[in-house]
Amino acid sequence: DSGVTQTPKHLITATGQRVTLRCSPRSGDLSVYWYQQSLDQGLQFLIHYYNGEERAKGNILERFSAQQFPDLHSELNLSSLELGDSALYFCASAREDRVGETQYFGPGTRLLVL
Amino acid sequence: QQQVKQSPQSLIVQKGGISIINCAYENTAFDYFPWYQQFPGKGPALLIAIRPDVSEKKEGRFTISFNKSAKQFSLHIMDSQPGDSATYFCAARWFTGNQFYFGTGTSLTVIP
Q: What mean pLDDT, rounded, does chain A reach?
A: 94
User: Which string of b and e fits A68-107 if b means at least 16 CB within 10 Å?
Assistant: beeebbbbbebeebeeebbbbbbbbbbeeeebbbbbbbbb
Average pLDDT over residues B22-48: 93
Q: Cα–Cα–Cα angle for B33, A111, B36, nearest 5°?
A: 15
Taking CA A18 as the corner, what is the angle to CA A13 and CA A22, rounded to the nearest 5 degrees? Answer: 90
Radius of gyration for the alpha carbons in chain B, expressed in angstroms and rounded: 13
* A108·B93 Cβ contact <8 A: no
What are the tens digits of pLDDT across the range A48-70?
999 999 999 998 999 999 999 99
Chain B: nearest CA to A110, how far in angstroms? 10
Under 8 Å between Cβ of B90 and B21: yes
pLDDT value at A40 more than 90: no
Q: Residue A47: its chain B contacts at CB < 8 A?
A: none
Contact B29, B94 (CB under 8 A): yes
The answer, yes or no, to whether residue A12 has pLDDT greater than 90, is: yes
Identity of the residue numbered A97: D
Closest alpha carbon to B89 in B29, B7, B3: B7
For an interface test with A, the pick among B94, B98, B104 (most A C-beta atoms closer than 10 Å) comes out as: B98
Contact B49 A58 (CB under 8 A): no
Rounded Cα distance, A109 and A22, in Å: 9
pLDDT score recorded for residue A2: 86
Mean pLDDT of B25-39: 93
Do A105 and B105 make contact, defined as CB atoms within 8 angstroms? no
Does the structure show a pLDDT above 80 at B1?
A: no
CA distance B32 to chain A (A): 6
Give the rounded percent of residues in chain B with a pLDDT score beyond 90: 84
Rg (CA), chain A: 13
pLDDT in tens, B41-92: 899 999 999 999 999 999 999 999 999 999 999 999 999 999 999 999 999 9
Vertex B6 angle, CA A63 and B37, to 5°:
80
